[in-house]
């Protein structure tokens, strides 16, 4: 399964409303998990089995909770039993499709 998620605190003391420290705490949890992952400017994507992925999301959410009185979690999952390596595989298939379109 792939899970893309974004976690943000609110109600904290940061005057400029920046959440980079909270996001860093969440990314640290993700990296420590050892699961395949990718972080971009909007989401972190994890790949793994249901229980291990959601355990990481829970721990990351708790880490972000230290930075405010509330936490917002946005999550999208691609559940495809029997497949692995999709964190890279989906992108490779997309790039192949883009390349083949430009050759037409």
Q: Tell me the CATH class for 2-102.
A: alpha beta
For the chain, the structural domain boundaries read 2-102
76-88 pLDDT per residue, tens: 999 999 999 999 9
3-state SS string over the chain? CEEEEEEEEECCCCCCCCCHHHHHHHHHHHHHHCCCEEECCCCEEEECCHHHHHHHHHHHHHHHHCCCCEEEEEEEEECCCCCCCHHHHHHHHHHHHHHHHHCC
Greatest mean pLDDT among 3-17, 22-36, 90-104 lies in: 22-36
pTM, rounded to two decimals: 0.88
47-98 pLDDT per residue, tens: 999 999 999 999 999 999 999 999 999 999 999 999 999 999 999 999 999 9
């Amino acid at each position: 399964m792939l899970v893309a998620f974004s976690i943000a605190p609110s109600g904290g003391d940061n005057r400029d409303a920046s959440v980079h420290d909270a996001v860093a705490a969440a990314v640290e949890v993700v990296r420590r998990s050892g699961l395949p992952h990718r972080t971009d400017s909007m989401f972190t994507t994890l790949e793994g089995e249901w229980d291990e992925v959601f355990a990481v999301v829970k721990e990351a959410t708790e880490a972000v909770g230290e930075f405010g009185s509330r936490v917002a979690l946005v999550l999208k999952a691609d559940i495809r039993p029997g497949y692995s390596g999709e964190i890279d595989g989906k992108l490779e298939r997309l790039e192949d499709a883009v390349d083949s379109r430009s050759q037409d």
